[in-house]
Structure 1
């Protein structure tokens, strides 16, 4: 039923002007589905194949290559997605037995990590033998523990030049999931390992799955690898910041940037690299504000009720007044900076 619906899903997305690619994530019977539903095979933009459950024994290679041949014939890329939770048990058993027979003294964790890498590399060789090009194959080896992910991908990167997709197979909910994903992938990305990523978060009931995308974008932007939206730096607060004004202003500016970004991105080149700062006292406020494109330093406890504003490191103006007046004035400065500092994109011709 799902395979039959793919052409209609693609058409509905096209009708709405959404060019997002569709990826078929196949387990157990992908070879059968793709043969029975050629329109699905033709329309999908990528196939994900799990070598651990594509088949067992002699059928594993046959069913794996069936999917690869269909991908080859359609020019479709594949992701060989090995997973610690569904690893090829024949391979694991053989490596465990080798460890015992040769008295290698390796831990089960070390053996599992080795099997993840071997499964990915062996499957890649089989895909290449089937006729897929190297530039059609992405590899992933997902596990649940950050330290294992780092070990597996460090080894994988040393043994292949295929593109690598990073991600914990399950990171958990909320802050825990974001921290675990960032701890693992941040190290790898900083070392130049990884070409695509996913932050796998367990959503709260009725939660927004787009949080995964937001977290992934923030991770890449924090490492300077990509820019998606202007960043807002804000101080955490301390004993010198007894007022909540800096918190409210930071939240409001963050929301304003989020709301305006679709329009700015359409109209201005480079606006996603803009840096804003909302600081809460004189200790770090002026310095952090000067480091941003636009920064404001609010008064801390015992300071004069004045808010110096710095634009590209230069003290340009000083704001004062109520919270609403400050928010409106700072927002106007942001609008002016965008209009003056980022070139407008050429107007698109209507079709």
Structure 2
């Protein structure tokens, strides 16, 4: 395998140095040539599942840019492989690279259900919406086998506790039975992430996610089941998907979405190098243009950590996107509103069953 060969089925095309690691690694051409001559793989292509047993599972979210107070992530790392994913940087805290490692080394929190149950039973805990997953997708491929997310949903239902969900995988429909029960008491909001209506764009941006067709069907089926569903068009990437705002909002509106949100791409930490490398290999004809436009949105830098501007950007492009969404929502969503999550039931179900007195 040569250095320029595209790794199919993966977003990142290489590992990058971990900023917390003492040593860094470089894959040299002579090593790659040797592996090719010997018929060996220079880069491991399989996904590894690594079991972990954390002490806590519900995380307080302190960022003022994110519309959630608490999140829960049953998995760290994500096999979906979305090239732009801000969560890549978090993999460095576990000792891995934000590049291919993020997609190939999936950490599974085996005691997630036990930890959540302990949290919800705690006398000091007062019900506030908890979001699955604020960092990595709770319905990524390994969930099909492990069913940790399904067990978490059953726990939320048992204790009548409100939650939100964010996913780009149609696997969520497997749990429609539990979601319907949660929705009866206004205990659930679902966000489906749809970045593009073009399957080719989806395949290179998000290689192991559900197809666009399946995601649109998921929005429709959730809506038809009276489960409040919204769509996140995230991120908007200039010269890649920004031209799709109006048609995408129209499409999901027709499928029953109650709201549509967005973010603009930001390339913090290691993601700048990972994204730039991917861009030059997958879309070389427009790589410089895209990178320059991203920099213009974020004050001249690919790396933007400024609260208040990092999620939406600034300048002419950011304003155009903002106005397009304003118009699209008015045209295609009208006065639709998401029902408010119910935080009042949980106190009566602290022990897992309804209090009679």
- TM-score w.r.t. structure 2 length? 0.33
Return the index of the structure with the highest Cα Rg: 1
Q: Looking at both structures, which has the greater relative contact order when contacts are Cα pairs under 8 Å and sequence separation is at least 6?
A: 2
Identify the structure with the greater helix proportion. 1
TM-score, L = length of structure 1: 0.33
